Chain A
């Protein structure tokens, strides 16, 4: 080790707590960057590999029924590479231990050979034997895990009105169900919705579909146009009750996964950048101070013949050492937290294997960015130091010149105490540094706002969705839409106090080139259970004609109230109608479209029909109610609001909660780091002044007040700026989280602002305390000594 390096090591040890604070802030930014970028890499690589190896289809279609021969016609469409037809059908399940009916999506396995597309990955057990009817099922992993099911267990399903008991042969995963949730749901509810596979013959026979199919998956030849294939498929399937083909970007599981990656991409850039710029600023302030303190040493080194380059490189290495520690800590933290988040993603996304993959490119980039930040941090200070001729540098710096502060010149002087004046004048003497410190403090305050706005957004969504919008206890759906009078059968269930009917119809909404497929919901105009709420938030009374869209859906389709759009009914007799958009609804999970129930029925030309009902059930008759529901085969599903809400709390809320905690930790580190660093630099610069005051009889507390006075002033200026900045950050980041499947409202509460202010205040107080403890170490006697 060279002598300069030995000096470097000792100098570093001397400022270890400051160097550590800088490294920690840098580490926070890097950890966040590495964590999110690596998650993106893990998710997208795993997804692509899984899709590739298991032949995930590119075009999908549902239909009422078509003979198997149509499959050959599909295969003959130009641009189609492979076609997989089969049956997919929803049934009601009776799961042991679950006191409400669950919904199962039964998918067929081909009679001969393996699935050509959307191939299964078998986690355990085996697939059902294909030829004979043995009442066997393979179950999707999410549902199996939610119920603790394993091969050999049994469960009952109602197939076309007949209750049958099945034995589970194995647990399987499919690229089609990476996100295993009912169609249209933004959140998984793995207790009441599961995916299953069984032999084609057995499933087809039960539903009188043998020799036919109702589900299509297609892959394209390279270079084929997806749009043209979709159009051709739609034309071909129209006579068979085709419900419209769609590509991957409309596939619910794929879209949900894509949205998650998009959210991560939003988080991966902006936030870490703020942290890294703060770290660069801190490196700069620490290094400038170090170099100012070592002015005479630099002169001595130069006098002894060291070149400017050598001296400059020495100090660059100084800050590089801090960077290395920061990168080490950041990489370790990012990898550790990334692993935790990957575990969490397992709750949502089912892959054969989702492993944390370190994005080494981002590690290299981060290293370069941090090193550059460190370099920029020292460059200016080193340049100033080496430019001085040695003889001049060896003389002590001339006393700093001051003048009365602006506020004093404006005549406010008589009200200011001496220490307040010192603070004001110090701030004014170095305006750029004061501005940067203020900015850093404001950033620290600002980044504290973001994680809590996430938390508050989630709380708002929970209240909004399940108190304001949904006021029912349960939602019961019928196997097939039934006549309006079926509402009586709901009303007579035990414990039911109120019911309101609804009608769900699969539709395609189109405005210009943009289109979306979803369930159009028909609700009573003045619904009291499941309500449509606008951005007010006020209840929207559904008009006698026209359609109400989620605000996000309107944005995607580029329509506004007053515009006309095309509604294509994808069920029964296909119809296409021009319908005016009459209102926008506020919602946060998925997108929806609503019409007044009778208006919808007029549109469908079906007479008064309902798909189910929302109901309020008395809690003292809950068990009887569930028993009755389970015993009624017409009910396809029963969604209990409380369990969905709980599911949301345990999954989405928990995952965002984890991210919130990680961010909060990082933001606190930054806030503390900045303030501590500022206090330490101030202490170092003014050590002599402060020691003089001690000698002159100031108590340690009084000197402490002089020391932190400047910081307190800057903090007071920074806080409101920080709250503004933070609101901006929160708005920006929440916009990136604003996807079609998940959205968070921007909720900024006084409590959030207060907690940011208090955290910064606490960090200031603690830093001041630590700096004041350092005050005790100031050598009073040294203050008496001459500078030369």
Chain B
């Protein structure tokens, strides 16, 4: 079944975000239209300043648009208040950051459990860590883990609440190639096995081959959309 056949999770129309006012106004997003579906793996490509992070922030409920509409299912995220956005982040979205952002005073297992305590139907922290291949390192603190391991804990933390959406901001940015592959495999596996919509933003064009769809951004607009009929496996990417 093609992902596009289902009704979209995100409906984005004319999305714009302007920072500042008057002469100092900077347009970070200048009218973006797209739909994103469940089970899709989407890569947002773009250079620094292209607007891809701004777009991810909008999708994640971290920021609100200046113009346009942003719908998640029946949820009007464009006009949601602070409390509603918190609930959205809490129940729907899993985040993976370039800098991992683990809580240093909690072990791998506890970092995951921190989130599973918040939601209704989470998987066990152990299960989430198993999915990212970290069953052996569950009781280690962040300072005792390598960069790749920390990022995989972050992914486990993001997916443990069975989110419908996984948003990854340069997830391999701070990692070497080999470790990057393990991390991307983890994301790909989650997307495949749990049917989570995964959105990865990156400036690394190589990642495009692993996606269902690739959007290229420049100056706050989508300048190119590419649909891969067949997703390449992470290991086969031309590193």
Interface residues of A (CB under 8 A from B): 398-404, 417-418, 421-422, 425-426, 429, 688-689, 692-700, 780-781, 783-788
Contacts and interface: CB of A to CB of B under 8 A. Distances in A.
Given A422-B103, A696-B89, 13 more contacts: A418-B114, A688-B101, A689-B101, A689-B103, A695-B95, A697-B93, A697-B115, A698-B118, A781-B53, A781-B62, A784-B56, A784-B97, A784-B101
Nearest to A427: B105
Contact of A399 (B56, B142, B157, B170): B142
B181 interface: no
B186 interface: no
B44 to A, nearest CB: 14
Between A429, A692, A694, A696, the greatest number of chain B beta carbons within 10 A of the residue's beta carbon is seen for A696
Contact of B95 (A401, A426, A688, A784): A784
Contacts of A785: 98-99
Contacts of A688: 101
Interface string B141-168: 1111000000000000100000000000
Contact of A780 (B56, B62, B105): B62
B141 A783 contact: no
Contacts of A418: 106, 110, 113-114, 117
A421 B106 contact: yes
Contact of A784 (B57, B89, B93): B57
A696 B141 contact: no
B235 interface: no
B173 interface: yes
7 contacts: A400-B105, A402-B105, A421-B110, A429-B105, A688-B101, A689-B104, A692-B103
Interface string B84-124: 00110111010101110101111100100111011100000
A400 B62 contact: no
Contacts of A425: 105-106
A784 B57 CA distance: 9
Nearest to B98: A786
Nearest to B117: A418
A783 B98 CA distance: 10
A697 B86 contact: yes
B157 A696 contact: yes
Contacts of B78: none
B83 interface: yes
Nearest to B119: A697
B80 interface: no
A199 B118 CA distance: 94
A697 B91 contact: yes
B174 A786 contact: yes
Contacts of A426: 105
Contacts of B99: 784-787
A425 B157 CA distance: 20
B113 to A, nearest CB: 6
B212 interface: no
Contact of A786 (B119, B142, B143, B173): B173
B169 interface: yes
B63 interface: yes
A425 B143 CA distance: 14
B138 to A, nearest CB: 13
A654 B189 CA distance: 78
A697 B118 contact: yes
B144 A401 contact: yes
A48 B143 CA distance: 69
Given A421-B110, A695-B89, A398 B143 contact: yes
Nearest to B170: A786
A693 B98 CA distance: 15
Contact of A422 (B63, B106, B115, B157): B106
Between A425, A784, A788, the greatest number of chain B beta carbons within 10 A of the residue's beta carbon is seen for A784
Nearest to B141: A402
Contacts of B220: none
Which 3 pairs across A and B sit closest by C-beta, in order of nearness? A697-B90, A401-B143, A692-B101
B60 interface: yes
A420 to B, nearest CB: 11
A506 to B, nearest CB: 75
Interface residues of B, number: 40
Interface of B: 53, 56-57, 60, 62-63, 82-83, 86-87, 89-91, 93, 95, 97-99, 101, 103-107, 110, 113-115, 117-119, 141-144, 157, 169-170, 173-174
Contacts of B101: 688-689, 692, 695, 783-784
B130 to A, nearest CB: 20
Nearest to B96: A784
Nearest to A694: B86
Contacts of B63: 780-781
A695 B142 contact: no
Contacts of A693: 103, 114
A402 B143 contact: yes
A695 B89 CA distance: 7
Contacts of A697: 86-87, 89-91, 93, 115, 118-119
Nearest to A405: B105
A429 B106 CA distance: 12
A612 to B, nearest CB: 76
A403 B141 contact: yes
B86 to A, nearest CB: 5
Given A418-B117, A695-B89, A784-B57, A401 B141 contact: yes
Between A402, A429, A694, the greatest number of chain B beta carbons within 10 A of the residue's beta carbon is seen for A402
A398 B63 CA distance: 30
A421 B141 CA distance: 13
Nearest to B118: A697
Contacts of B113: 418
Contacts of A781: 53, 57, 62-63
B143 A400 contact: yes
A785 B106 CA distance: 21
Between B104, B115, B169, the greatest number of chain A beta carbons within 10 A of the residue's beta carbon is seen for B104
Contacts of B169: 784
Given A418-B114, A781-B62, A699 B103 contact: no
A786 B170 CA distance: 9
Nearest to B157: A696
A689 B142 CA distance: 13
Contacts of B57: 781, 784
A787 B56 CA distance: 18
A698 B89 CA distance: 8
A565 B73 CA distance: 99
A689 B169 CA distance: 17
Contact of B115 (A696, A699, A784, A787): A696
A379 B53 CA distance: 42
A695 B63 CA distance: 11
A421 B107 CA distance: 10
Nearest to B90: A697
A399 B119 CA distance: 28
A422 B105 contact: yes
Nearest to A429: B105
Contacts of B115: 696-697
A400 B141 CA distance: 10
Contacts of B174: 786, 788
A781 B62 CA distance: 7
Nearest to A688: B101
Nearest to B115: A696
A781 B169 CA distance: 11
Contact of B104 (A399, A694, A695, A698): A399
A421 B106 CA distance: 8
A699 B86 contact: yes
B233 to A, nearest CB: 27
A104 B98 CA distance: 90
Between A417, A425, A700, the greatest number of chain B beta carbons within 10 A of the residue's beta carbon is seen for A425
Nearest to A396: B99
Nearest to A706: B103
A689 B99 CA distance: 11
Contact of B105 (A421, A695, A787): A421
A357 to B, nearest CB: 55
Contacts of B53: 781, 784
